[in-house]
Amino acid sequence: MTFPALKNDRFLKALLREPVDMTPVWMMRQAGRYLPEYRASREKAGSFMDLCKNADFACEVTLQPLARYPLDAAILFSDILTIPDAMGLGLYFETGEGPRFRKVVRTEADIEALPVPEAEKDLDYVMRAVSTIRHALGGSVPLIGFSGSPWTLATYMVEGGSSKDFRHLKAMVYSQPELAHQLLDKLARSVTDYLNAQIRHGAQAVQIFDTWGGALSAEAYKHFSLRYMQQIVDGLIRDQDGRKVPVILFTKNGGLWLEDIAASGCDALGVDWTINIGQARQRVGDRVALQGNMDPAVLYASPEAIRAEVKRILTDFGPHNGHVFNLGHGITPQVDPAHAGVFINAVHEFSQR
């Protein structure tokens, strides 16, 4: 596949700790419910999964925030649960409850019955969306592909949906660890194939979202979450079309394990707002870039407060290479889009070299 030449590559350069003219910025969930144009597209599509499975709609909503703001990257519009859905678990969305599965995975027989999806065939709608978006971007900014981490995918598959205590999966981890490893290995192989297919279809960087890794104990995190992200990192395509493809690992509430995550071979760590980014940088040094880490709730504050917090985080990080500015988690639906604009413009204004 041939794509237009990239005009703004500061995001990719920052991930590889190369000098940039200003700190690049994007937002997790930047194509989402806080934008009225997104809500209109979703209504037109009929449902969230119809939005994901139609390449034109997925492209439309991916580009919406870029039409509003001078962002330095686009992220594929999709869902982290596409892999379990392709494994035949029957993903659906309950109003007010989030994602649910018609089938749960709790026994050895359940795990053995799970197929490892072929991304090119079983998730072809995602690949069509990736190549459609990459062409539509016209080289304006890079495109990020993504997946949920094996641990995070497993929480939904074993619990049947969102959970506060992950009791079924944690019970498996402590009483039948070999079963948990069997499931996580199958998921790691699936995620590796899925991300490599996204890279072949045009993703220029990839992020693994380990949303629920922070719910594990210190020891369990290394064995049941990080181990499988490391397996994925080891299996990823790292060069495509003559350019490096950076890999970002993001564990929410993962500040305890920064050094271990940095040793995984990834290019960048996503950090949430529970850690000072300057202290995070002191701990990992120049081994990896850092992405983050403003509390999304700051966007509910006044423009002056938003600008002050942006300035503080940039000052804490210091005059070093290797910073991608982001929120510490996804932007929330009730945020005023004008406040997101204040945030993005402040990052560029205060970080000009």
Q: What is the 3 state secondary structure string of the chain?
A: CCCCCCCCCHHHHHHCCCCCCCCCECCCCCCCCCCHHHHHHHHHHCCHHHHHHCHHHHHHHHHHHHHHCCCCCEECCCCCCHHHHHHHHCEEEECCCEEEECCCCCCHHHHHHCCCCCHHHHCHHHHHHHHHHHHHHCCCCCEEEEEECHHHHHHHHHHCECCCCCHHHHHHHHHCHHHHHHHHHHHHHHHHHHHHHHHHCCCCEEEEEECCHHHCCHHHHHHHHHHHHHHHHHHCCCEECCEECCEEEEECCCHHHHHHHHCCCCCEEECCCCCCHHHHHHHHCCCCEEECCECHHHHHCCHHHHHHHHHHHHHHHCCCCCEEECECCCCCCCCCHHHHHHHHHHHHHHHCC
On whether 29 is known to bind a ligand per the annotation, the reply is yes
On whether 31 is known to bind a ligand per the annotation, the reply is yes
Instruction: Tell me whether residue 100 is one of the annotated catalytic residues.
Output: no
C-alpha of 5 from chain center:
24
On whether 110 is known to bind a ligand per the annotation, the reply is no
Instruction: Tell me whether residue 156 is one of the annotated catalytic residues.
Output: yes
On whether 34 is known to bind a ligand per the annotation, the reply is no
Among residues 10, 17, 29, 106, which one is catalytic?
Answer: 29
d(CA 307, CA 301): 10
Instruction: Tell me whether residue 10 is one of the annotated catalytic residues.
Output: no
Report the phi/psi class of residue 31: left, alpha or beta, with left for phi > 0 and alpha for psi in -120 to 50: beta
Among residues 33, 68, 128, 287, which one is catalytic?
Answer: 33
Among residues 38, 156, 194, 228, which one is catalytic?
Answer: 156
On whether 92 is known to bind a ligand per the annotation, the reply is no
Among residues 72, 79, 85, 267, which one is catalytic?
Answer: 79
On whether 156 is known to bind a ligand per the annotation, the reply is yes
On whether 301 is known to bind a ligand per the annotation, the reply is no
Among residues 42, 68, 128, 200, which one is catalytic?
Answer: 42
List residues forming the annotated binding site.
Answer: 29-33, 79, 156, 211, 329
List residues forming the annotated binding site for substrate.
Answer: 29-33, 79, 156, 211, 329
- Catalytic machinery residues: 29, 33, 42, 79, 156
